[in-house]
Amino acid sequence: MLTLSEVKEWRSYANEVREKGRIVGLVPTMGALHEGHVALFREAKDRGDVVVATIFVNPRQFDDVGDLERYPRTLEHDRALARGGGVDCLIEPALDAMWPDYPALTPTTVSVGGLGERFEGAGRPGHFDGVASVVAKLFAITGPSRAYFGEKDFQQLAVVRQMVHDIAFDVEVVGCAIVRDHDGLAFSSRNARLSTNGRRHALALSKALALVAQRDDSASAQRALMTTTLLDAGVDVAYADVVNPETLVPSRDDETGERRALVAGLVEGVRLLDNGPVRIVGK
């Protein structure tokens, strides 16, 4: 596995891959890698791509300095997991290579209105501006490619797809299914901050989604069931909603069809997200 840190070398490597008639399979990450990331590497590899993974903890998507400082950094572990997952080239850019003006505000920002302002965007102001801006930079440096994102961060995936559509990046965005641990908890870099007891409480997120997936009901009834399930487990609920899977607009009670259930909450101060398909029937 090749490891690069300089933007010039990164861009040159991607160009060489394309000159050989291959497709760059880009997997953006913030490190603290786990089996969910490995699944993205393997999906890219299975499609025949040359797998290029990036590790960059992007400060612009954190609205809380403490949260940024607590974000796990496990570089040696990440390198080993990337190598074992089939990554061909691992990119580890320095902070000043990505944001030369940091900690000063970067003059240019990519902002996705609507999609980026709901749910995580409402609870964490500026979060998706930071996400969209860094992903846009990753795409600009890498060039034409296929980019792989996990469905666990469903809103992030929607925001990236909208940005690619609007700006016309020559990038195919591939969404990959959520990968869960043996107990049903969706893999997340933040899970490492949970105690054993906290992890038991966190299982309420996947439990709530499983309950609504088993029944057809109105959107409001599904919301109520998820909220009750989370509260009963001691989760500090950020939201529990049923939305259009493309626009993320909350569903009305007169709607019928396939939708997406989104849940988020705090457990031991750790913000956790999960989602899953659900079917609603109008009242």
Active site residues: 37
Pairwise CA distance, residues 117 & 113, whole Å: 6
CB contact at 8 A, 258 and 243: no
Pairwise CA distance, residues 204 & 227, whole Å: 10
Closest C-alpha to 260, from 112, 141, 174, 153: 153
Q: Is 21 helix (H, G, I), strand (E, B) or coil?
A: coil
CB contact at 8 A, 243 and 250: yes
The DSSP bridge partners found for residue 141 are none
CB atoms within 10 A of CB 212: 26
Pairwise CA distance, residues 150 & 170, whole Å: 20
Closest C-alpha to 239, from 261, 268, 214, 254: 261
CB contact at 8 A, 178 and 150: yes
**Per the structure block, which two tokens stand in for 213?**
């997936």
Strand locations in 96-186 (E) = 145-150, 171-176
Pairwise CA distance, residues 149 & 157, whole Å: 6
Q: How far is CA 47 from CA 24, 40, 170, 174, 202, in A?
A: 11, 11, 18, 11, 34
Look at the block and give the residue holding tokens 């809380």.
64
